[in-house]
Amino acid sequence: MSKWLRIKITAKQRISLGVGNEKSFLTRTHPYLPGSVVRGALAATWLRESNGTADSLFTTVFEQGRFSPAFPSGAVLENQSVKQCKYHDGNSGHPEFVDLAFDHTGNSETHCGAGRDDLKGNVSGVRVGTRVTTALDPGKNTASEGKLFSREYLEKGTVFAGYVCLPDSADAALDFLMRISSAFFGGRSSVMGRSDIKWEELSEAPGLSTVNTAEPVVIRTISPTILVDSYGLPSIDLAAALQEASVGTVEATWSNPPRVESGIAGGWHMATGLPKPAEIALVPGAVAKLTGVDLQNLKQLLDSGLGLRTNEGYGWVEVVTEPWAPTAEGAAR
């Protein structure tokens, strides 16, 4: 039986999670902590506290364990099953947002004259700041001309929440991991990223206890999902991937037309000194509606993730229990 933990991360300094070209004028940030960042920060802390020894406990956690994205409090991840009324009039008598995974009323056909747009899996409700700095002229120790840079960041005091799933053989490793009480997340760790960590043990995957196999079950991805077909070629077919996992009958999926990211998950693997391959992935917020769910196979999906490189934070799937709403209080996240 897999071991589940909830991780709470409180930023004691600003956090910047660079996206794109570090040499451009503006370095943008992710609005949340990707699972790969959580994994990397905890691994670095583990090695630092164990004098750089990557023993079997380390391998159990960071090669066999899985780390979800950690979202700031108040953040909302859009479900791609939702249609939004364009230029919505609050007095129109119909809802602005309709979640097709739950709606059976036909509300998705009503709008204010400009149709409805599909939500795209973005993350909203996160306050992002920008800090501007300049390079120093080494000869004069003054600001250099033409060398102005800015970096987006998430503010000090931001509280993030996510999950860790470890194999059932990880008892000793679990104890060591839960002793980690602080780590550095993101770039510029000499002046940014220091955070406190708190842990909570869970009995099973979040949302699993709410599943009634006699009724439809809705699931969604909350991280990029890297899929391949039966020949090992890149795929964006969510329904086929779920059918292969034998979770249940796929009644409908909402990632169509499939929204994808290209060139993700690249970078440099420090341990081997080799580049990581870039991938094509479905963006977060892809939704599927299942019937005839096999509870054991669903548990396996939640424990193991969907697709490739799941131990790096990709392919994280969760159960959705209610229609999406645009506020943190009314949404699954």
The pLDDT tens digits of the residues spanning 122-131 come to 999 998 888 7
Nearest C-alpha neighbor of 187 from the set 308, 68, 2, 30:
30
The pLDDT confidence band at residue 248, using thresholds 50, 70 and 90, is: very high
DSSP letters along 105-166, please? S-GGG--SSS-EEEP-S-EES--EEEEEEEEEETTTTEEEEEEEEEEEEEPTT-EEEEEEEE
Q: Name the residue with tokens 């066999």.
A: 64
pLDDT tens digits along 298-312:
999 999 999 999 998
pLDDT value at 228 more than 60: yes
The pLDDT confidence band at residue 246, using thresholds 50, 70 and 90, is: very high
Q: Region 254-278: what's the mean pLDDT?
A: 72
**Domains assigned to the chain:** 3-73+159-202 (3.30.70), 208-330 (2.60.40)
pLDDT higher at 95 or 265: 95
The pLDDT confidence band at residue 133, using thresholds 50, 70 and 90, is: confident
**Beta-carbon neighbour count of residue 127 at 10 Å?**
11
pLDDT value at 74 more than 50: yes
pLDDT value at 223 more than 70: yes
Task: Please give the pLDDT value at position 330.
Answer: 44
C-alpha 44: how far from its chain's center?
A: 20
Give the containing element (helix H, strand E) for 199.
Answer: strand 194-202
Phi, psi values for residue 160, rounded to 5°? -110, 150
pLDDT higher at 326 or 159: 159
- Enumerate residues 6+ apart whose C-beta is below 8 A from 154: 11, 14, 15, 16, 17, 29, 31, 72, 126, 127, 128, 129
Q: What percent of the chain has pLDDT over 70?
A: 88
Q: Region 39-55: what's the mean pLDDT?
A: 88
Task: Please give the pLDDT value at position 40.
Answer: 93
HSE, CB side, 13 Å, CA atoms: give it for residue 129. 12
Token duo for residue 214: 């006699």
Task: Please give the pLDDT value at position 86.
Answer: 86
Give the containing element (helix H, strand E) for 177.
Answer: helix 171-177
- Enumerate residues 6+ apart whose C-beta is below 8 A from 236: 227, 255, 258, 260, 280, 282
Instruction: Find out whether 184 and 41 touch, Cβ atoms under 8 Å.
Output: yes
pLDDT value at 289 more than 80: yes
DSSP-derived secondary structure letter, 333: -
Strand partners, 261: 281
The mean pLDDT value of the chain amounts to 87
Give the containing element (helix H, strand E) for 172.
Answer: helix 171-177
Nearest C-alpha neighbor of 207 from the set 281, 303, 88:
303
Tell me the whole-structure pTM to 2 decimals.
0.86
Task: Please give the pLDDT value at position 181.
Answer: 96
pLDDT value at 52 more than 80: no
CA distance 232 to 277: 15
pLDDT tens digits along 86-110:
888 877 778 889 999 998 776 667 7
Query: Phi-psi region for residue 103, left (φ > 0), alpha (ψ -120 to 50) or beta?
Result: beta
The pLDDT confidence band at residue 226, using thresholds 50, 70 and 90, is: very high
SS (H, E, C) 228-256: ECCCCCEECCHHHHHHHCCCCEEEEEECC
Task: Please give the pLDDT value at position 332.
Answer: 44
- Quote the Cα angle for 24-27-28, to 5°: 135
